[in-house]
Amino acid sequence: MNTALVNTGLVNTALVREPGPLLAEGTVTHAERRPVDLDLARRQHEAYVAALRAAGWNVRAVPPADDCPDAVFVEDTVVVGGDLAVLTRPGAERRRAEVAGTERAVRDLGLRVATVEAPGTLDGGDVLQAGDTVYVGRTARTNEEGVCRLAHLLGGRRVVPVEVTGCLHLKTAVTALPDGTLIGVPEWVDTAALPGLRVAPEPSGARVVVLGPDHVLLAASAPRTAEVLAADGLRVTVVDISEYEALDGCVTCLSVLVP
């Protein structure tokens, strides 16, 4: 358990950032750009936050960054391991201004803070923590220097680099279920680095947020995955995030969970 959060009474904290007015101008790399309905996106974000609260997470708002269209994807700005918050250096230069607000939020939680420095780049969406292993995607957003810096900061934890192709981030392609099993799209990653990878029934089913020991969050665009995981005995919560998927986003991007 995270002692820093226990001391502040904030166990199971979820950091989120509300969508800003420029959301529709967000970066699109792999999706086909289409109009984004900002009002609908705001309602979807509210429903996402409500799902976190219903699962027992204390939701804390990261200060807004309204000049940054992609700022709602707060996961990319920090990696939290134990009582350490590693502030990232996003691979897209226009996203780097988002990090300042996240730094204030994690300092308010009492976490220790470290940074990724140039020439390293690291997006939080490229970091998948599964037990004692930390998988880090090598992508257009995360370079070798960023991987090495994170490995140094995380000390004794096992860090495994993973080559990623065909999608934006590692966690677009692979996430972990509550028991540590990896689920994903094998065509998008180097499966040699990901033992026992379970194939997701549809691409968006590769993106799972673990809300509890037997509870997961999925996008409404992954109904077959939801059905399969429910049959496995997991409690499955489904949210519609269509407006964020239009911007290469997924359920993991919209929060940072600090257990």
Residues noted as catalytic? 169, 253
Residues whose CB is less than 8 angstroms from the CB of residue 228 and which lie 6 or more positions away in sequence, other chains included: 201, 205
Q: In angstroms, rounded to a whole number, what is the distance separating the alpha carbons of residues 214 and 228?
A: 14
The pair of structure tokens assigned to 151 is: 């490995």
Q: How far is CA 99 from CA 65, 103, 116, 145, in A?
A: 9, 6, 11, 19
Span between the terminal Cα atoms of the chain, in Å: 7
Specify whether the CB–CB gap between 21 and 66 falls below 8 A. Answer: yes
Distance CA 124, CA 106 (A): 14
Angle at CA of residue 217, ends 233 and 249, nearest 5°: 145
36: left (phi over 0), alpha (psi -120 to 50) or beta: beta
Return all residues near 87 (Cβ < 8 A) that are at least 6 apart.
Answer: 77, 78, 99, 102, 103, 106, 113, 114, 115, 116
- R_g over Cα of the chain: 17
